[in-house]
């Protein structure tokens, strides 16, 4: 009946957050006076008169004049001196009409050490963090028309991951799930972003190596909860907002010596990597299969790659060096240019005149 979450702290710089107090915690502070909201707390403790004789004394209700003694087996929780301070500071509650027979201590909401939240506990009940039956039904509601969803017998509850993220992350953080499976982490991040008013959203990277799970389950779930979907009952569920990019992991670009792995890496593979590292955007689909050194134009700047004989040059360097000849064969662009190539025959002055920023492969790629 129990599941376990193993947690570790990679760096002593990390500090855990408080959890949101929640309405059920604040509802305890249902009384209010001129000093603020408070809850009545027990005025006695579990000590006997034999153990704490100094805590066995009479107190008086100022409204009725009644003198009250504690039980001999459960004396007051405060000394006479503390009690007198409580009277002076109006910290004793005698009931709604002031005629109570037992005093209570006023615990004010604003005086809490952690007024903005609660310290996380190590035992999380299902009403606090969800359970696998709830998460299984949630996943099947979202992906009711995906046959392979039944393979996930015990997906993680979204509420569980939300609790982890509340404790461990802050707005603007990047959350990585290396075994994303059904995509619960992505769902939880989108849900948190939608529910908070933070100006900086949390972001996520999900990794799933199974070739069927990644597109059919992980991607599809995150896509639907972000954009909207129709559940198993035919009811339209609005999207949480946000989005993501779905990418596939290719072959390693570099060998153990830091050289481009020419036996595996094609022009299109390196082009995707170069364009993304240069612009932060994926290579446009129409350029992936195009056999041209011009990868694209981003914010007015053209990005070129000379690699693997893209210019049909069969010479020793295969057209991979920026020269006057190769420049003439590059698709024209009237503006700044970035050229990735194995070498460059231009002077600094020539590069400036041509509005070219030269970056040598593989070094300029590996250092990004």
**pLDDT digits 0-9 by tens, 316-325:** 456 889 999 8
Instruction: Kindly compute the dihedral angle of the four CA atoms of residues 130, 132, 134, 136, in this order, to the nearest 10 degrees.
Output: 140
Distance (Å, rounded) from C-alpha 368 to C-alpha 348? 22
- DSSP string for 186-199: HHHHHHHHHH---S
Predicted pLDDT of residue 56: 97
Closest by CA to 310, choosing from 322, 298, 297, is: 322
Please, what is the average pLDDT of the chain?
89
pLDDT of 116: 67
Largest CA distance in the chain: 108
Q: pLDDT tens digit string along 43-92?
A: 999 999 999 999 999 999 999 999 999 999 999 999 999 999 999 999 99
pLDDT at residue 156, as a whole number: 93
pLDDT at 68: 95
pLDDT digits (tens, 9 = 90+) for 173-217: 999 999 999 999 999 999 999 988 777 899 999 999 999 999 999
Tell me if 306 sits within 8 A of 326, measured CB to CB.
Answer: yes
* Length of the chain, in residues: 368
pLDDT at 297: 94
Which segments in the chain show pLDDT lower than 50? 316
What is the model's pTM? 0.66
* Non-local CB neighbours of 167 within 8 Å, separated by 6+ positions: 16, 17, 19, 120
What per-residue confidence (pLDDT) applies to 76? 96
Listed by start position, the domains of the chain span 23-111, 126-238, 267-366
- CA 271, 275, 280, 286 torsion-angle sign: negative
Q: Give the pLDDT confidence score for residue 291 in this predicted structure.
A: 82
């Amino acid at each position: 009946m129990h599941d376990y979450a193993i947690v570790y702290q990679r760096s002593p710089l990390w500090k855990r957050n408080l959890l949101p107090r929640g309405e059920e915690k604040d509802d305890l502070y249902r009384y209010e006076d001129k000093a603020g909201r408070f809850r009545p707390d027990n005025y006695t403790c579990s000590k006997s008169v034999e153990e704490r004789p100094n805590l066995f004394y009479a107190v008086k209700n100022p409204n009725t004049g009644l003198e009250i003694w504690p039980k001999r087996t459960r004396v007051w929780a405060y000394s006479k001196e503390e009690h007198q301070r409580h009277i002076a500071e109006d910290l004793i509650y005698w009931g709604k009409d002031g005629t109570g027979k037992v005093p209570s201590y006023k615990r004010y909401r604003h005086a809490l050490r952690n007024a903005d939240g609660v310290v996380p506990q190590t035992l999380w009940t299902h009403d606090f963090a969800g359970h696998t039956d709830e998460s299984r039904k949630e996943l099947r509601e979202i992906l009711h028309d995906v046959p392979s969803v039944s393979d996930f017998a015990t997906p993680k509850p979204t509420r569980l991951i939300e609790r982890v993220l509340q404790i461990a992350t802050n707005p603007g953080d990047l959350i990585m799930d290396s075994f994303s499976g059904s995509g619960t982490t992505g769902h939880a991040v989108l849900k948190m972003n939608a529910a908070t008013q933070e100006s900086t959203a949390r972001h996520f990277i999900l990794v799933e190596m199974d070739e069927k799970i990644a597109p059919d389950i992980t991607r599809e779930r995150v896509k639907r909860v972000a954009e909207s979907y129709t559940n198993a009952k035919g009811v339209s569920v609005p999207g949480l907002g946000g989005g993501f990019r779905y990418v596939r992991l290719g072959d390693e670009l570099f060998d153990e010596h830091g050289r481009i792995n020419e036996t595996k890496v094609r022009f299109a593979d390196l082009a995707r990597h170069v364009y993304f590292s240069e612009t932060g955007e994926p290579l446009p689909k129409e350029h992936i299969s195009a056999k041209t050194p011009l990868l694209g134009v981003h914010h007015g700047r053209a990005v070129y790659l000379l690699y693997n004989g893209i210019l049909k040059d069969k010479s020793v360097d295969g057209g991979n060096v920026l020269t006057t000849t190769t420049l003439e064969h590059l698709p024209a662009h009237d503006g700044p240019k970035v050229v990735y190539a194995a070498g460059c025959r231009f002077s600094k002055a020539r590069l400036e005149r041509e509005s070219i920023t030269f970056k040598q492969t593989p070094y300029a790629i590996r250092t990004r």
